């Protein structure tokens, strides 16, 4: 259902989390000392100081209409939503009200949702934040100039698929403004996860009077969050200072400790990491979006003063092998079960850096941190696989001498090549010959997202857009996601699973929905359309003056809204 670009996430997850590290969460005490994995997040952070953000992105945008950033990212220094996320290093992320008084109400099973804004909310220019501003902010995201953002709402709101934004004077009637503080969203189907959807960037308020130049609005937006942009040089630097109208007591998602934030753009990734390792001058007050390499991990591990500043995730991205169930050789369930038993997951874990760097072996579709996650293993071959069990299943299926092809994206890194060879070697031990087909990312994506694609197996990865089983299970296993750029690389179609997915999507009770997604996870794996491999870990390095820097179970990134700077 997501409009998110799957070319990036669907198989390209290794770009974001190639080799990562497990363990403790760094700098969660005011002293800046490292803590153990049982540490909890701080209730507050010191006020004052300047936070430096070192970005490898060529340009950072604070445009909400086209953003794909999660609600714990730096975009939310400036913009608030109707709801937001509270994160913790030792328990699941929870949804909390942001601009709204609660996380939404429905009295018709999720077809319509009502939100009431808090009293006395004010933009950085001193004008009141109204329901009309929220409506207009959402409407902007439908404009053709703002394509590419998280777009669940575009297919869920009545009339959304035909709407092209407000710039021709048209409104989207399914966003009803009852009064200055009340909005009602009218959906085209029951949808229980709508409270999570309204935490996404497009639901930030935008005053229409300030949107005179939409193309450059993001460089000097009117702030609803604790910081306003006071200086912006595209591709170089942005400076943020306090929004004097923001009220801490109205905000459950942000601590807003630093007095000032300086964001430097377009920096070399390895240079950022080296600067954070060296920890000198302003870099002591810095965080970043840099990716760490195996060589840099070795350097970090060798120096406890650096390793103490490394925040590491317990959960992360889902890595798996998809089996094209429409291919005759894979139509028999026993063959797919045999492949599940045959794979040496421990070796694949080593390819990604081992348990310390690469991630945790998994047998689930859902990942830790997603509500309802319940570990199970229907094909327990141990970490290295069960060759004899796999051979027995292949014999029962009359498929003892199979030849299959494995398509993979070969231009991301050398890890995908090593992964493919490991799979080939593991299946050779049970009598399956694998022909490797390494492709460039574009060709690979076109192949596996086309119905009837000429491949048997493929490797892929996925990261959920919000903490619900829907955000992984529906895009990867619903029949509607076969072909046309969809994420169902297994070409898996089960009417009973489709019905269960539809019921879980519609369930407004999120606790009940979580149980439903857990059951669907197991229901799908009983058909064995994939081989789950890893929950890939992520990590981040912070300067020695940064506190409350941790990576929650979801999302697998540091919460940039709650860090503080200790002034020494």
Q: Name the strand (E) or helix (H) holding 177.
A: strand 175-179
| Cα–Cα distance for residue pair 336/39, rounded to 1 Å | 41
Examine residue 114 and say whether the peptide bond preceding it is cis (omega within 30 degrees of 0): no
Contact call for residues 177 and 227 (beta carbons, < 8 A): no
Residue 307 within a domain: no
356 with 502, same domain: the answer is: yes
Q: 227 phi and psi, to 5 degrees?
A: -125, 150
Question: What is the CATH number for 509?
Answer: 3.10.105.10
Tokens of 102: 């609660």
400 with 516, same domain: the answer is: yes
Residue 508 within a domain: yes
Question: What is the CATH number for 83?
Answer: 3.40.190.10
Residues 6+ apart with CB under 8 A from 476: 365, 462, 487, 488, 489, 490
| Cα–Cα distance for residue pair 108/90, rounded to 1 Å | 35
Residue 257 within a domain: no
Contact call for residues 280 and 544 (beta carbons, < 8 A): no
Q: What is the DSSP letter of 347?
A: H
Q: Give me the pLDDT at residue 19, please.
A: 25
In angstroms, what CA-CA distances link 453 with 407, 443, 446, 449, 484? 10, 11, 9, 8, 11
| Cα–Cα distance for residue pair 323/427, rounded to 1 Å | 13
Q: What is the DSSP string of 191-257?
A: -TTHHHHTTSGGGS---GGG-S-TTTGGGSPPP-SSEEEEEEETTTEEEEEE-TT--GGG-SS----
Query: Residue 270: helix, strand or coil by DSSP?
Result: helix
216 with 327, same domain: the answer is: no
Show the DSSP H helices in 237-344 as ranges.
269-278, 294-301, 304-307, 333-342
Q: Give me the pLDDT at residue 451, please.
A: 95
215 with 344, same domain: the answer is: no
| Cα–Cα distance for residue pair 500/201, rounded to 1 Å | 29
The predicted-structure confidence for 399-441, as pLDDT tens digits, reads as follows 988 999 999 999 888 889 999 999 999 999 999 999 999 999 9
177 with 317, same domain: the answer is: no
Query: Residue 524: helix, strand or coil by DSSP?
Result: helix
Q: Give me the pLDDT at residue 358, please.
A: 83
Beta strands 227-233 and 260-264: pairing type? unpaired
204 with 327, same domain: the answer is: no
Q: Give me the pLDDT at residue 40, please.
A: 55
In angstroms, what CA-CA distances link 488 with 3, 385, 528? 14, 25, 14
Residue 548 within a domain: no
Residue 255 within a domain: no
341 with 481, same domain: the answer is: yes
Residue 562 within a domain: no
Q: 179 phi and psi, to 5 degrees?
A: -160, -170
Q: Which domain holds residue 182?
A: 61-226+244-250
Q: Give me the pLDDT at residue 148, please.
A: 82
The predicted-structure confidence for 206-258, as pLDDT tens digits, reads as follows 999 999 999 999 999 999 999 999 999 999 999 999 999 999 999 999 999 99
Residue 80 within a domain: yes
Q: Can you give the length of the chain in residues?
A: 568
| Cα–Cα distance for residue pair 132/147, rounded to 1 Å | 22
Domain boundary among the residues 250, 266, 300 is at: 250
Please choose, from the candidates 524, 250, 536, the residue with its C-alpha nearest in 3D space to the C-alpha of residue 367: 536
Strand partners, 50: 260
Q: How many structural domains is the chain composed of?
A: 2
197 with 69, same domain: the answer is: yes
Q: 330 phi and psi, to 5 degrees?
A: -115, 10
Residue 338 CA, chain-centre distance (Å), reads 31
206 with 73, same domain: the answer is: yes
210 with 334, same domain: the answer is: no
Residue 264 within a domain: no
pLDDT < 70 stretches in the chain: 1-40
203 with 322, same domain: the answer is: no
385 with 512, same domain: the answer is: yes
């Amino acid at each position: 259902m997501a409009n998110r670009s799957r070319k990036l996430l669907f198989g390209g997850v290794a770009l974001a989390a190639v080799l990562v590290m497990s363990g403790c969460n760094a700098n969660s005490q005011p002293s800046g000392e490292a803590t153990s994995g049982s540490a909890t997040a701080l209730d507050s952070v010191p006020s004052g100081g300047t936070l430096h953000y070192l970005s490898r992105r060529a340009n950072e945008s604070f445009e909400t209409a086209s953003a794909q950033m999660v609600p714990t990212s730096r975009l939310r220094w400036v913009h608030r939503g109707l709801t937001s996320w509270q994160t913790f290093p030792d328990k699941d992320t929870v949804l909390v009200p942001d601009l709204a008084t609660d996380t939404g109400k429905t009295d018709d099973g999720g077809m319509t949702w009502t939100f009431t804004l808090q009293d006395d909310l004010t933009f950085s220019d001193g004008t009141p934040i109204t329901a009309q501003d929220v409506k207009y902010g959402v409407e902007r995201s439908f404009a053709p100039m703002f394509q590419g953002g998280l777009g669940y709402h575009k297919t869920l709101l009545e009339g959304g698929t035909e709407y092209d934004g407000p710039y021709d004077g048209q409104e989207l009637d399914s966003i009803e403004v009852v009064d200055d503080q009340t909005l009602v969203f009218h959906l085209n189907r029951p949808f229980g996860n709508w409270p999570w959807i309204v935490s996404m960037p497009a639901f930030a308020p935008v005053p229409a009077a300030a949107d005179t130049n939409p193309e450059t609005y993001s460089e000097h937006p009117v702030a609803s969050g604790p910081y306003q942009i006071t200086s912006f040089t595209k591709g170089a630097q942005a400076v943020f200072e306090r929004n004097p109208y923001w009220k801490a007591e109205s905000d459950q998602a942000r601590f807003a400790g630093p007095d000032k934030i300086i964001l430097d753009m377009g920096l070399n990734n390895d240079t950022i990491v080296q600067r954070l390792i060296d920890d000198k001058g302003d870099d002591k007050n810095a965080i970043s979006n840099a990716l760490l390499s195996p060589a840099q991990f070795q350097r970090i591990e060798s120096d406890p003063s650096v390793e103490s500043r490394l925040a590491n995730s317990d959960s992360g991205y889902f890595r798996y092998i998809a089996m094209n169930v429409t291919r005759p050789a894979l139509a028999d369930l026993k063959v797919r079960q045999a492949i599940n038993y045959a794979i040496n997951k421990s070796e694949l874990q080593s390819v990604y850096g081992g348990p310390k760097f690469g991630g945790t072996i998994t047998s689930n579709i859902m990942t830790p941190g997603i509500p309802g996650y319940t570990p199970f293993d229907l094909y327990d071959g141990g970490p290295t696989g069960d060759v004899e069990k796999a051979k027995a299943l292949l014999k029962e299926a009359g498929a003892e001498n199979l030849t299959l092809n494995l398509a993979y994206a070969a231009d991301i890194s050398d890890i995908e090549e090593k992964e493919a060879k490991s799979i080939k070697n593991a299946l050779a031990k049970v009598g399956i010959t694998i022909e490797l087909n390494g492709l460039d990312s574009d060709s690979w994506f076109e192949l596996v997202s086309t119905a009837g694609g000429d491949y048997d197996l493929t490797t892929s990865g996925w990261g959920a857009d919000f903490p619900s089983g829907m955000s992984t299970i529906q895009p990867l296993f619903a029949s509607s996601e076969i072909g046309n750029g969809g994420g169902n690389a297994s070409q898996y179609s089960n009417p009973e699973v489709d019905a269960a997915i539809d019921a879980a999507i519609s369930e407004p009770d999120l606790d009940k929905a979580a149980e439903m997604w857990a059951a669907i996870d197991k229901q799908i794996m009983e058909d064995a359309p994939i081989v789950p491999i890893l929950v890939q870990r992520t990590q981040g390095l912070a300067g020695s003056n940064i506190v409350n820097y941790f990576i929650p179970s979801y999302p697998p990134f540091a919460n940039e809204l709650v860090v503080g700077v200790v002034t020494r």
